[in-house]
Amino acid sequence: MIAAQPLDQIQMVSLSTRRPFPRRLFNVLSRLECLAVLEIIHLATHADRAEHVRSLLVRFQDCFSFTRALGGLIRLGPGRTFSGFARVINAGYPDDRRTPYREGDLAELDPLLTSTLKSLRAYHWREIRHTRSSEQERDFIAAARHSGLHNGMTIGWLDRTDTFVAFCSFAGDRDLDAERVVPLVQYVGAYILQALRRMTPPIDPAVHHSIQDLSSREKTILMWVKIGKTNWEIGRILGVSERTIRFHIGRIFSKLDVISRSQAVAVAVEQGLADLAGPIGP
């Protein structure tokens, strides 16, 4: 018979050395808040439907005095750019803050979205607003505040395929205790993001979208777009109407499977579209 070894003599690998338990997060919470957080984490580990995640968002916002929440999956384009929403789960966000992203380059004006795609961590909105100086970004922020999104937090997480970013945003109408709330959103939000990740749609077989699929005229227009010319300027250069240029750019977007000029340019750069040099044929 093999003698049992006392537990205190068994060498065990400490999990705390890999990811220490954030004890200080819970030290500042009341007993009811601790129970609420543990319940959210427990439910998040089993959530695999949209209604489950919506319930998690509502529970979290109610627990920490937010008034609106939004979660979902962002489909990534070339260069980790916004290529549309693959899934959106709304828990109180105004619809007018979501639908405009389907048109034009509005997503690229959202400082929270662009920051989240570049660096995946928890963002306090005030932190982002204080670093933005362009008139378009300030106008975007003002419109968001007009819709009731005064202050809040956003967190994002990239999936392993680099195809989607899961995100959560929590908004409120009053100032946040950032020192207390930011670490909680970072910690608890990670579990909600994992639940969102489980709802990622299956990835279709890769389709290669090449600039070689473009006509000679479309390549010419894309080269002018690449150096920053507007539709009106390109029309003047090529001797056609601005409406014609918009038509060609729409075909470029369709052939390259992109939704914005910057994404089309990113594809052009990645695939080595030559710069303008000498006369270019029709």
* CATH assignment at residue 230: 1.10.10.10
Cα–Cα distance for residue pair 18/128, rounded to 1 Å: 31
pTM of the complete model = 0.63
State what percent of residues in the chain have pLDDT above 90: 12
Q: Is residue 6 part of a domain?
A: no
Shared domain for 131 and 161, answered yes or no, is: yes
By residue count, the chain amounts to 282
Look at residue 11 in the predicted model and tell me its pLDDT. 45
Query: Would the pLDDT of 101 be above 60?
Result: no
Look at residue 44 in the predicted model and tell me its pLDDT. 93
Look at residue 103 in the predicted model and tell me its pLDDT. 44
Say if strands 68-77 and 123-124 run parallel, antiparallel, or are unpaired: unpaired
State what percent of residues in the chain have pLDDT above 70: 79
Q: Is residue 4 part of a domain?
A: no
Could you tell me if 225 and 264 are in contact, meaning their C-beta atoms sit under 8 angstroms apart?
A: yes
How does pLDDT run across 171-207, given as a tens digit for each residue?
887 777 777 888 888 888 889 988 988 876 654 444 4
Query: Would the pLDDT of 100 be above 60?
Result: no
CATH number at residue 58: 3.30.450.80
Could you tell me if 72 and 54 are in contact, meaning their C-beta atoms sit under 8 angstroms apart?
A: no
Q: 145 to each of 115, 151, 156, 271, how far by Cα in Å? A: 18, 8, 21, 40
End position of a domain, from candidates 143, 166, 197: 197
- Average pLDDT over every residue of 249-263: 79
Report residue 70's pLDDT band, with 50, 70 and 90 as the boundaries.
Answer: confident
Query: Would the pLDDT of 277 be above 60?
Result: no
Report the number of distinct structural domains present in the chain: 2
- Average pLDDT over every residue of 30-56: 91
Q: Is residue 150 part of a domain?
A: yes
- Written in H, E and C, the secondary structure of the chain is CCCCCCHHHCCCCCHHHCCCCCHHHHHCCCHHHHHHHHHHHHHHCCCCCHHHHHHHHHHHHHHCCCCEEEEEEEEEECCCEEEEEEEEEEEECCHHHCHHHHCCCHHHHCHHHHHHHHCCCCEEHHHHHCCCCCHHHHHHHHHHHHCCCCEEEEEEEECCCCCEEEEEEEEECCCCCHHHHHHHHHHHHHHHHHHHHCCCCCCCCCCCCCHHHCCHHHHHHHHHHHCCCCHHHHHHHHCCCHHHHHHHHHHHHHHHCCCCHHHHHHHHHHCCCCCCCCCCCC
How does pLDDT run across 111-121, given as a tens digit for each residue?
777 788 877 77
Q: Domain of 60? A: 20-197
End position of a domain, from candidates 197, 226, 245: 197
Query: Would the pLDDT of 255 be above 90?
Result: no
Q: What is the mean pLDDT of the chain?
A: 77
Higher pLDDT, 174 or 238: 238
Cα–Cα distance for residue pair 275/281, rounded to 1 Å: 14
Report residue 232's pLDDT band, with 50, 70 and 90 as the boundaries.
Answer: very high
CB within 8 Å of 73: residues ≥ 6 apart: 85, 86, 87, 164, 165, 166, 167, 196, 197, 199, 200, 201
Shared domain for 221 and 189, answered yes or no, is: no
Q: Is residue 89 part of a domain?
A: yes
**Residue 136 corresponds to which amino acid?**
Q
Shared domain for 34 and 78, answered yes or no, is: yes
Between helix 216-226 and helix 231-238 the angle, nearest 10°, is 130
Look at residue 275 in the predicted model and tell me its pLDDT. 58
Q: Is residue 276 part of a domain?
A: no
